[in-house]
Structure 1
Amino acid sequence: MLFPSFEFLFLFLPITFFVYAFLSKYKWFTGAKVTLILASIVFYAYWDYRYLLLIFFSIGFNYIVGKKLKDNPNKKLLTFGVAMNLGLLTYFKYVDFFLENVNWLTGASIPLLNVALPLAISFFTFQQIGFLVDAYKGRVADFRFTNYVLFVVFFPQLIAGPIVQHKDVIPQFKRKETFQINYKNLTIGLFVFAAGLFKKVVIADSVALWATPGFDEATSLTFYEAWGSALAYTFQLYFDFSGYSEMALGLGLMFNIKLPINFNSPYKANSIIDFWRSWHMTLSNFLKDYLYIPLGGNRSGKLRKYRNLFLTMLLGGIWHGAGWTFVIWGTLHGLYNVINHSFRDIKKRLQLKTGAMETAATQIPEIKSFISIQAVFTNAVARILTFIAVIIGWVFFRAETISDALKVLKGMIGLNGAPFGTLDYLPQGSLELTVLLGLFLWVNFAPNTIEFSQRLKPNWNWALLISLLLITAILFINRKAEFLYFQF
């Protein structure tokens, strides 16, 4: 069941909210909580009821292991619990990829298992690994089973995140005010959901019509065609995933659950470091807390810090998908981060040496003005370079094969020339280029949805805005589309 579907908008969500509100009104808080659990299970089963057995096993196994770790912190038990989770994830997500490469390297003909990827397995696996680690470290205080189940299956974040840590939501399940109607949260949640729905079905699904042919259909691309396709996908992915994340946040707020923010204007970043602090923020935090820091973080010198950064991004790339394109994408961002951190480390050392002289120089008005202009120019160049580096990475992220990625990159550097209008189904007309330019300006200068929602006031202007967003989005729902991050 997709959020932008008539079944969800006009059947599942109203019924779930009505029952939740009715039970909350009569202060049957346990009933309201159980309603959310049952609704989430129905939501998940709607995709394929056969996945239920796996998620039930995962919940039961991790709850039992987590409780034992809390009572008796045992490193072997923790290792067993994490290994079981990663083993399931590896089997369902990577076994065929592994067999394909064994066959390619050895010339063998081992038959593929054709394992179907269970929906959301990457997300609920990561959530529960975090839970086990925190239980081992004594960071988990609440082990009520209903709270744990709701933590895993809560339908707004179940399918594609945000990746929620127990400390973010389980304490909210213990508060009575969580299971009461809060009209402020309901209004803000409805706006954030409407904005996310608009982003997904009106913007992301529209520019997808320009991105898909360039990557999947064209045999070669000219300079304009390649850049048009790459930019179209860059904006498709942004508005698709940020749109989903905002719908999840909005739905959570409607039920008084505050989920962590997953996006904070990542295309405004002036460096790759800043990009990863604002893109898929919950994944970045998870990788930092449960991979980068356990690897040693920055505690053992610069070289090991760079190694840990590279490995973290490489494994983050592999988490996204079983394919060499994702390995290359993770490798690219690993190298980007190493270069970025190296540059910052060198810059810090130079600033320490010249700091006193620069401070004195800035007291001179002419120099102060020059430095301000130089800072604006430097930030603009840094943002553009960061954006281009991200786009190059997205080419591999989107391409089905390495050859498809190279096809796009060859066009982007002009190896196929720059004739205009050779393939009329690609974005190179004045309308398409105007739209892409408008989206570039939007993601670079406009306030994001969360910033915009902070201005919300309960009046007719906001009611009209929310209504227009919802009505416009509903008119676009008939187009067939899925969220890009569902495949991960």
Structure 2
Amino acid sequence: MQRFKKPQLAKYFLFLISLWFYAANDIRSLPVLILSILVNFYLGKQILKTETHKKLLCVIGILLNLAVLGVFKYLNFFMENISFVFGQSYTPISLILPLGISFFTFQQISYLIDCKNNNADDYSISEYALFASFFPYVTSGPIAFHSEIIPQLRKEKNFKPSAYNIARGLTAFAFGLFKKVVVADTLGAAVNAGWSNISSLNASSALVVILSYTLQLYFDFAGYSDMASGIAFCFNINLPINFDSPYKARNISDFWKRWHMTMTRFFTRYLYIPLGGSRHGLKRTCLNTLIIFLVSGLWHGAAWTFIFWGFLHGIAMVISRLISAKTDRHLPYPLAWLLTFIYVNICWVFFRAPNIKSAFSLFSRLTSGFGFIVSEISQSFLTTEVKIFRLFIPIDDSLFATLACVVFLVLACLGAIFPQNMQRKIQNFKPTTKLCYLTIFVLFWSIISLSGISTFLYFNF
């Protein structure tokens, strides 16, 4: 019994909690996750043992992971397009999309590659299983590496409750929940109202829909990342930073150093550098960059809209590199920031659109003339909290809804652009009485604002 020490039991307990959390979202996906963990753990062990077949076993493991991902996520997409090319009809196969499959597949591919390169330790099954399934990040990231998580699981001090970590964890969780429930979900209602009836939009309404989605996606994903980090802190686990105020970026390259940082890191380490990175001249560098962003687009979803979104970012990165190779001069920061922010907004339209045609339909509404924001959109901003102010502002209902829309968007923009990122703040957390009261207030506000089950946008990927 001596080998079943408290830390070991804690790992198994946390693993079971992670499986329960995963199954609670969609129990049909659970066998896929468990089999993925067992197969990759076994392959990793074999790769570490052998000296002659490391590369072969690693390639087999990568292909197996990509095959599982391909079947569940991309089979219908590829079959539909192949059938279209050959003039054949195709009836989509009804398949589940296992929750977080893109995330845990990439995590385990990185583990196999590191085993091949002798950059991984010989982990126990409890360590590896918990790393691969840890519930704060298994569904939507960040894409953590084994070398970041498992060493923390081996520190005995991490199995003792830490009041400091619990305090900063609850703080991060509370503000993340606020971003999701109060900000992102309100913006999401406006976005859905706009996309459901594009033909009724005037230019003002189209701009509101575009900006609302840009902000919704940020607050939704950043909110999840804050909540994931917060929960992990409560277990004395420090997750890699995934966001660093991306809408402060002065160019596309800067944007991708700040947005979904762990995904960018994965593609850089395991695809861009193996392709040659920037070591073989400017043309090869530009080609590798474009490949990375096309793959990134496909990783996000099995649709041409995602691929085109990746292509737009790839082209912008290539242009940025070409300009950097010609001159060291830079645009003034305000102008550079504005151009970058506008371009990112344009790209997000394709990310949200159900198809390419719909994206261009929304853009076409920008030429339809300005006017009052359509009521279906402006009414989305009349949350319970906002309606309280209606008692003190004696103006027409439609005008009040428009005012609420404008004020909400301005405040959301300010919140996304100017404050220091929460994931940076929490690394240097200093508990104070004022912060404690603010956290309680934000958490209470978020809880009473919960109006139903609202999934995170990145659960779809």
Query: Given the two structures, how large is their TM-score scaled by the length of structure 2?
Result: 0.91
Task: Name the residue aligned to 2:26.
Answer: 48
- The whole-number CA distance in structure 1 between the counterparts of 2:22 and 2:133 is 8
AA in 2 matched with 1:399: A
Task: Name the residue aligned to 1:420.
Answer: 372
Please say if residues 168 and 431 of structure 2, whose CA atoms lie closer than 8 Å, have aligned partners that are also in contact: no
- The whole-number CA distance in structure 1 between the counterparts of 2:110 and 2:427 is 31
Report which stretch shifted further, 402-411 or 267-276: 402-411
Task: Name the residue aligned to 1:435.
Answer: 408
Task: Name the residue aligned to 1:363.
Answer: none
Corresponding residue pairs, total? 434
Q: In 2 relative to 1, CA 48–440 (structure 1 residues): closer, same or farther, beyond 3 Å?
A: closer
Task: Name the residue aligned to 1:34.
Answer: 12
Please say if residues 142 and 170 of structure 1, whose CA atoms lie closer than 8 Å, have aligned partners that are also in contact: no
1:445 to 418, 431, 435: 418
- The whole-number CA distance in structure 2 between the counterparts of 1:401 and 1:38 is 40
- The whole-number CA distance in structure 1 between the counterparts of 2:449 and 2:232 is 24
The answer to whether structure 1 residue 406 and structure 2 residue 357 are counterparts is no
TM-superposed CA distance for 1:49, in Å, is: 2.1
The answer to whether structure 1 residue 268 and structure 2 residue 219 are counterparts is no
- The whole-number CA distance in structure 1 between the counterparts of 2:311 and 2:403 is 36
- The whole-number CA distance in structure 1 between the counterparts of 2:420 and 2:25 is 35
Q: In 2 relative to 1, CA 206–146 (structure 1 residues): closer, same or farther, beyond 3 Å?
A: same
| SS state at 1:429 partner | helix
Task: Name the residue aligned to 1:359.
Answer: none
TM-superposed CA distance for 1:110, in Å, is: 3.0
- The whole-number CA distance in structure 2 between the counterparts of 1:430 and 1:459 is 35
Task: Name the residue aligned to 1:202.
Answer: 182
AA in 2 matched with 1:76: L
TM-superposed CA distance for 1:456, in Å, is: 4.2
Task: Name the residue aligned to 1:7.
Answer: none
AA in 1 matched with 2:375: D
Where in structure 2 are the equivalents of 1:3-82 lying within 5 Å?
A: 28-73=6-51, 74-82=54-62
- The whole-number CA distance in structure 2 between the counterparts of 1:132 and 1:33 is 22
- The whole-number CA distance in structure 1 between the counterparts of 2:409 and 2:323 is 31
- The whole-number CA distance in structure 2 between the counterparts of 1:265 and 1:280 is 11
The answer to whether structure 1 residue 100 and structure 2 residue 73 are counterparts is no
- The whole-number CA distance in structure 2 between the counterparts of 1:78 and 1:125 is 14
Task: Name the residue aligned to 2:198.
Answer: 218
- The whole-number CA distance in structure 1 between the counterparts of 2:90 and 2:186 is 41
Deviation string 1:398-419 (CA, Å, 9 cap, x unpaired) is 111112111111223x2x2223
- The whole-number CA distance in structure 2 between the counterparts of 1:430 and 1:203 is 16
The answer to whether structure 1 residue 471 and structure 2 residue 444 are counterparts is yes
| SS state at 2:376 partner | coil
Task: Name the residue aligned to 1:21.
Answer: none
Task: Name the residue aligned to 1:295.
Answer: 275
TM-superposed CA distance for 1:480, in Å, is: 3.6
TM-superposed CA distance for 1:220, in Å, is: 4.6
Task: Name the residue aligned to 1:309.
Answer: 289
Task: Name the residue aligned to 2:142.
Answer: 162
Please say if residues 226 and 409 of structure 1, whose CA atoms lie closer than 8 Å, have aligned partners that are also in contact: yes
AA in 2 matched with 1:419: G
RMSD of aligned residue pairs (Cα, Å): 1.7
TM-superposed CA distance for 1:157, in Å, is: 0.6
Deviation string 1:254-298 (CA, Å, 9 cap, x unpaired) is 000001010000000001001000100000000100111111100
Please say if residues 226 and 411 of structure 1, whose CA atoms lie closer than 8 Å, have aligned partners that are also in contact: yes
Task: Name the residue aligned to 2:161.
Answer: 181
Please say if residues 216 and 404 of structure 1, whose CA atoms lie closer than 8 Å, have aligned partners that are also in contact: no
- The whole-number CA distance in structure 1 between the counterparts of 2:161 and 2:279 is 47
Deviation string 1:17-65 (CA, Å, 9 cap, x unpaired) is xxxxxxxxx9711111111001001111112222221111111111111
TM-superposed CA distance for 1:463, in Å, is: 1.7
Please say if residues 270 and 382 of structure 1, whose CA atoms lie closer than 8 Å, have aligned partners that are also in contact: yes
- The whole-number CA distance in structure 1 between the counterparts of 2:372 and 2:28 is 50
- The whole-number CA distance in structure 1 between the counterparts of 2:424 and 2:100 is 29
State the identity %.
Answer: 41
The answer to whether structure 1 residue 457 and structure 2 residue 430 are counterparts is yes
| SS state at 1:472 partner | helix
Where in structure 2 are the equivalents of 1:315-464 lying within 5 Å?
A: 315-348=295-328, 378-412=332-366, 414=367, 416-421=368-373, 423-427=374-378, 429-453=402-426, 456-464=429-437
Q: In 2 relative to 1, CA 220–318 (structure 1 residues): closer, same or farther, beyond 3 Å?
A: farther
AA in 2 matched with 1:281: M
Runs (4+) off by over 4 Å: none
Report which stretch shifted further, 329-338 or 95-104: 95-104
AA in 2 matched with 1:56: I
TM-superposed CA distance for 1:454, in Å, is: 5.3
- The whole-number CA distance in structure 2 between the counterparts of 1:223 and 1:435 is 19
Please say if residues 221 and 407 of structure 1, whose CA atoms lie closer than 8 Å, have aligned partners that are also in contact: no
Deviation string 1:122-161 (CA, Å, 9 cap, x unpaired) is 1100000000000000000142111000100111011100
Q: In 2 relative to 1, CA 110–459 (structure 1 residues): closer, same or farther, beyond 3 Å?
A: closer
- The whole-number CA distance in structure 1 between the counterparts of 2:219 and 2:173 is 13
- The whole-number CA distance in structure 2 between the counterparts of 1:184 and 1:419 is 52
1:119 to 81, 99, 120: 99
- The whole-number CA distance in structure 1 between the counterparts of 2:350 and 2:274 is 28
Unaligned runs of 5+ in 1: 1-25, 352-374
TM-superposed CA distance for 1:104, in Å, is: 2.2
| SS state at 2:137 partner | helix
Q: In 2 relative to 1, CA 27–76 (structure 1 residues): closer, same or farther, beyond 3 Å?
A: closer
Q: In 2 relative to 1, CA 61–112 (structure 1 residues): closer, same or farther, beyond 3 Å?
A: same
Unaligned runs of 5+ in 2: 379-400
| SS state at 2:208 partner | helix
| SS state at 1:29 partner | helix
AA in 2 matched with 1:261: I
The answer to whether structure 1 residue 277 and structure 2 residue 288 are counterparts is no
Please say if residues 34 and 146 of structure 1, whose CA atoms lie closer than 8 Å, have aligned partners that are also in contact: yes
- The whole-number CA distance in structure 2 between the counterparts of 1:389 and 1:120 is 28
Task: Name the residue aligned to 1:19.
Answer: none
- The whole-number CA distance in structure 1 between the counterparts of 2:429 and 2:91 is 57
- The whole-number CA distance in structure 1 between the counterparts of 2:431 and 2:256 is 34
- The whole-number CA distance in structure 1 between the counterparts of 2:451 and 2:114 is 43
